[in-house]
Amino acid sequence: MAGRRSDDERYARSVGARSIFLNLPDAVFRGYEGEAQIMGMPRPEDPAPIEALARELGRLKPRHVYFPLGVGNHVDHQLTRAAGIALLGGPHDEPSESVAVGPGLLGRLLFYEDSPYAQRIGFERLDQLPGHALATMPHDISLAPEYSELGDFVDRKVEGIRVYASQVDSLFGSDGAMAEAVRSRATRVGQLGGIGPAERYWRAISSLFVGEADTFSFSA
């Protein structure tokens, strides 16, 4: 955990960002063992960190909030995604009683496609997620894809990932494989969006504003 935190701090310094740690241990330190468990279903006694995140978001009041989409099903990413969905509150034609920051995140909350899992499975569509992944999404919320063309930022992304020395080999096998995976994924995402190498995010919006053919809505 100390090594992971050190990587986070180094990366934050390199891009002029500030890290805030909630001191929540990774899955392997909460008793999950082996790939089958780490990429399996969260345990009932292992809740999503909704209140901790609500408290910090209410204090910081960020303009945009990015949560993992949970591609690849890493249990920590699944729980964080669940927290993001819960923080949307809902339904949005009614006052939210669950979490104070509820509807205020609508339009500001985006889900990112988890690396390296999105590249490994060739993730392209939301229906590639397990059926339960977005089952708790409020019925009046849709996810709209947004593409961000990277340009020279592809190389900066590779350099940024290199800062995470404790994870590069275990996740990618080698530095060279990491660089190739990042560039290959960016190229494919750009093709999906009809642009150059890119990243894609999924913004939570009101279904009232759905107009794009590639926007997805969900039934509660």
Structure confidence at residue 220 (pLDDT): 39
CB 142 within 8 A of CB 106: no
Q: What is the pLDDT of residue 211?
A: 57
* pLDDT for 132: 95
Average pLDDT over residues 116-137: 96
pLDDT of residue 197: 97
Tens-place pLDDT, residues 146-200 = 999 999 999 999 999 999 988 999 999 999 999 999 999 999 999 999 999 999 9
Beta pairing partners, 67 = 111
> What b/e readout covers 5-34, taking b as 16+ CB neighbours within 10 angstroms?
eebeeebeeeeeeeeeeeeeeebeeeebee
Give the pLDDT confidence score for residue 2 in this predicted structure. Answer: 84
Instruction: Please report the pLDDT score of residue 92 as a whole number.
Output: 53
The pLDDT tens digits for 34-68 are 999 999 999 999 999 999 999 999 999 999 999 99
Q: Give, in order, the Cα–Cα distances in Å from 38 to each of 4, 34, 61, 144, 183.
A: 17, 6, 31, 28, 26
